Amino acid sequence: MILGDLNYRLFNDNKQVRKLIKIGDFEELMRFDELQRARDHSSKLQRMVEGPLTFYPTYKYDSQSDEYDTSSKKRVPAWCDRILFSDNKHLT
C-alpha cells in the first residue's frame, strides 16, 4: 500500500501550462506530469491504476476564486488530488 500527500507537479513553463488548461488539453499536460514520470521509473507505481484525469488541475487557486495563483509566487497549476489504486492483494 502507498499512502501519502505526494504533491506531484507539472514541469513546464507556467504560461504554457495555463494555455493548455485554457484549451482543455489534458493529454498534452500529462506529458509534463511528475507522477507519470515517477510511474515510468517505479515498478510499484506502474502496477497501480489511476482513473482518467477529466478535471482541471486543482492546485493552486487564489483564495475564494477560480483563478490560478496570481501572487508573486505564480505557482504552476497541477493535479494534486489524485488516487492510485490496486486490487492486487499481493502488491507490497
Q: How confident is the model over 16-49, as pLDDT tens digits?
A: 999 999 999 999 999 999 999 988 898 888 888 8
Q: Count Cβ neighbours within 10 Å for each residue of 31-67 and write b for 16 or more, e otherwise.
A: ebbebeeebeeeeeeeeeeeeebeeebebebeeeeee
Domain ranges of the chain: 14-85
Listed in sequence order, the residues at least 6 apart from 47 whose beta carbon sits closer than 8 Å to its beta carbon are 86, 88, 91
Cα–Cα distance list, 87 to 9, 63, 77 (Å): 26, 37, 30
DSSP state of 84: E
If you write DSSP's letter for every residue of 64-78 in order, what string do you get?
A: TSSSB--STT-PPPB
Pull the grid cell for residue 9: 507537479
Residue 28 pLDDT:
95
Residue 17 pLDDT:
96
Residue 46 pLDDT:
84
Residue 26 pLDDT:
93
Residue 67 pLDDT:
94
pLDDT tens-digit profile of 48-82? 888 888 889 989 999 999 999 999 999 999 988 78
